[in-house]
Amino acid sequence: MQEKRELAEKYCPVFWLDENEPFELKALGYTVFAQDMHSDSFPKRHIQADWSVTEAVIEYAVWFDYDIQHLYELEHVWVHVGTDGSVQKVEGSFHGKYLNEAVLDTGGVVPDRGGRPEVYLQPGKHAVLPDPRVIRLVPQWKECCGEYAGSEGVTVPEMFDGQFVQPDEATQEMVRRYIREHYAFEPAMRFWLFEPDDSLLMPWEELKESIPQRVMREIIRIREADR
């Protein structure tokens, strides 16, 4: 197998983002699987493949500081790489679930740009999708970016229990208000291509370790702006 970092760079996805998207993709944490194994960054998922024809499954944990409705945002892309170096299929996370290859694989051909898979991100929410037309099928896809912006405040996933100081209601309301006032937007439903720089790539363990600090940094920044 090629070095893990080399594989992660070679097959790193490129992302189509809404023209009015208010948030920047800040990091991509990668894990390279060469055998059936449980995912640490997506606890609901057990990675499996036919390893006679699959060299690796590369999991990319896609980090934004914000979802349009809350602090903390982690979506996922899984790239299955064949022993011949081809991209066999691509899967994407979708609000705590994931879409299988039948959705992201179009007629047996995975859309790519120079060998790097192309995926769309839902405006503001960043769910991984194969086609922007799917966005309009998502309930409240537009309202969540406007009237419901910030409604969920700060979310703390179970994997970080004990690593965060649970925000009190005053902090939650402050975050809700800040997101609504600073980031509410109307999706353009026109998209531009973002090709992540290799500097955004890091092993998942490194990203995971940094997440509590990333979230607390934003809370502190919001608190200072709220004074």
pLDDT of residue 226: 81
pLDDT of residue 1: 53
pLDDT of residue 101: 47
pLDDT of residue 99: 63
**DSSP string for the chain:** ---HHHHHHHT--EEEEETT----EEEEEEEEESSSEE-SSSTT-EE---TTTEEEEEEEEEEEEEETTEEEEEEEEEEEEETTS-EEEEEEEETTEEE-HHHH-BTTB--EETTEEEEEE-TTT--EES-GGGGGGSTTTTGGGTTTTTTTEE---GGGTTTSPPP-HHHHHHHHHHHHHHH-------EEEE---GGGEEEHHHHHHHHHHHHHHHHHHHHHHH-
The mean pLDDT values, 10 residues at a time, for the chain of 227 residues are: 87 96 98 96 92 96 97 94 92 77 52 83 94 90 97 88 83 96 98 95 96 94 89
Q: Does this model's pTM top 0.85?
A: yes
pLDDT of residue 102: 38
